[in-house]
Amino acid sequence: MHRRIASSVPRAFALALLCVFAAVPVAEADPVEVRAVPVPLNAAQPDLKTVGKLSYRGGVELLSKSDRFGGFSALGLSADGKRMVSLTDEGNRLDAELVYGPNGDFAGLKNTEIFTLTGPGAVPLMDKTMSDAESMAAGVDGEIIVSFERIHRLWAYPPKQTGPRPLPLPDEMRGATENRGIEGLTLLNDGSLFAVSEGLGREGANLAWVSNRRGWSVLIYRNTDGYRPTGAATLPGGDVVLVERYFSPRQGVRIRIRRIAHQDIKPGAEITGDLLAEMREPFTVDNFEGIEAIKGPKGETLIFLISDNNFNRFGPQRTLLMMFELTD
């Protein structure tokens, strides 16, 4: 991986770098009206506030009449939790300010805008083969690193520059099918990147990688029961959380959130992580693909999830944005 990406950087600083996404070249700004409808953690038990090792701190279903709204696959927050950026699998970017209630629970969004990401030469990404963004991470020099699938690639968007800068892919990604790309990408506290694929590898094992100054090294992420990783984030203390998804027409969608100790992420390792929470109906659950973690105003660890509705504006999939506090 590029030398600058593998440099050492404090995690708090890395999170703050997400604020610079406002400087990433975009086109076709579109202020968009978004309505936030509160959702319970569990529809059958509206007063329930805990699942596994997570405490529910508020969540909403996001609704908009805009044809560009939906398909959110990646999530980033500023270190103070006031701003968010989410990328879609059609090359759009949602910018918004987060709204909290008097008790600090998440309540909705305001000042929402949608932009179109650009490619080299600041050309808007309009074709699906080029615009399918799946994950994002901060870089140590203020850039935002985005992974795309279909035509697999990693692009670094530097602040205040026109167009992204290509970064080397892991060798194993070069022969991957179009929808088996990097689904989770996060900057570790030592300045290296951790990436995990959704479909590469054997049954029950996904290829993952960690960067260094010479390139990418392979490790294995073990999963069970047909779950697949769809997003990754680094906790304030350095460990990594992954969101996993399972779907079948008969059983519907289920998700798991796992925590991986930072010292276990090393070349050649086989990692699984500890289960933090598992959600299925009647819990409020959907196609969660974006995850982010920040330190809250009281020092607590907050985990956010956003779901990809695949642009099903009228159901059954929904755009959910939910906040949890890690209690362990």
Instruction: Return the percentage of the chain with pLDDT > 90, whole number.
Output: 73
Please state, in angstroms and rounded to a whole number, the distance separating the CA atoms of residues 165 and 157. Answer: 6
Does 232 have pLDDT greater than 60?
yes
**Higher confidence at residue 202 or residue 325?**
325
Mean pLDDT score across all residues of the chain? 89
Q: Residue 107 has what pLDDT?
A: 98
Q: Which helix (H) or strand (E) holds 76?
A: strand 72-77
Radius of gyration, alpha carbons of the chain = 18
Largest CA distance in the chain: 52
What is the DSSP code string of 2-45? -TTTTS---HHHHHHGGGGGGGS-EEEEEE---EEEE--SBTT-
Domains of the chain: residue spans and CATH:
11-326 (2.120.10)
pLDDT digits (tens, 9 = 90+) for 175-227: 787 777 899 999 999 999 999 998 776 777 899 999 988 899 999 999 888 89
pLDDT confidence band for 79 (50 / 70 / 90): very high
Q: Nearest-5° angle of CA 16, CA 206, CA 153?
A: 55
pLDDT digits (tens, 9 = 90+) for 13-41: 344 444 445 545 555 577 899 999 999 99
Supply 57's token pair.
């701190």
Closest CA to 134 of 211, 229, 231, 21: 231
End-to-end CA distance of the chain: 33
Question: 107-116, 170-179, 227-236: lowest mean pLDDT where?
Answer: 170-179
How confident is the model over 266-295, as a mean pLDDT? 96
**Higher confidence at residue 312 or residue 103?**
103
Strand order in the sheet with 215-222: 182-187, 193-197, 205-212, 215-222, 270-271
pLDDT digits (tens, 9 = 90+) for 84-108: 999 999 999 999 999 999 999 999 9
Supply 125's token pair.
């990404």
What is the pTM (predicted TM-score) of this model? Answer: 0.92
Burial class (CB in 10 A: 0-12, 13-18, 19+), 207: buried
